[in-house]
Amino acid sequence: MQFPLPIIKSCEGCSACCRVVTLPPFRRVFGEEGEEAWERLRWDRPDLREEFLEVERARKVAGEATFGSPCQWLDVEVGRCRHYDYRPRACREFAVGGLDCVDARRRGGVV
């Protein structure tokens, strides 16, 4: 018997949605618009942008998946994004307590 997960109101310490994305889910085109956070990285944190691109290139060359392991920006010890202010739109718009949230928590064993 499967019990419903409790409703949560905060992401604090959860990180279920970040545990399987491997790379921050930047989309250079997001619904006909450019990814604002991606552009902010270009100007504000070119070091983070280059780090992201290097990891992405290395994974492609090695034939590794870009999903299935914790996001490279996730601090797994505290369950928070190391670069929260620069997180992609997909992360900003993720609905806490929504269907995707519940699904991520269920898959990740996070209650």
Q: What is the pLDDT of residues 57-87, one digit of tens each?
A: 999 999 998 788 899 999 989 888 999 999 9
> What are the extents of the domains in the chain?
16-108
Each residue of 92-106: pLDDT tens digit?
888 888 888 888 888
User: Which DSSP helix (H) or strand (E) runs through 81?
Assistant: strand 80-81
The pLDDT confidence band at residue 29, using thresholds 50, 70 and 90, is low
This prediction has a pTM of: 0.80
Closest listed residue to residue 36, CA positions, set 90, 88, 106: 88
Closest listed residue to residue 93, CA positions, set 50, 6, 51, 30: 30
Each residue of 32-47: pLDDT tens digit?
566 888 888 989 999 9
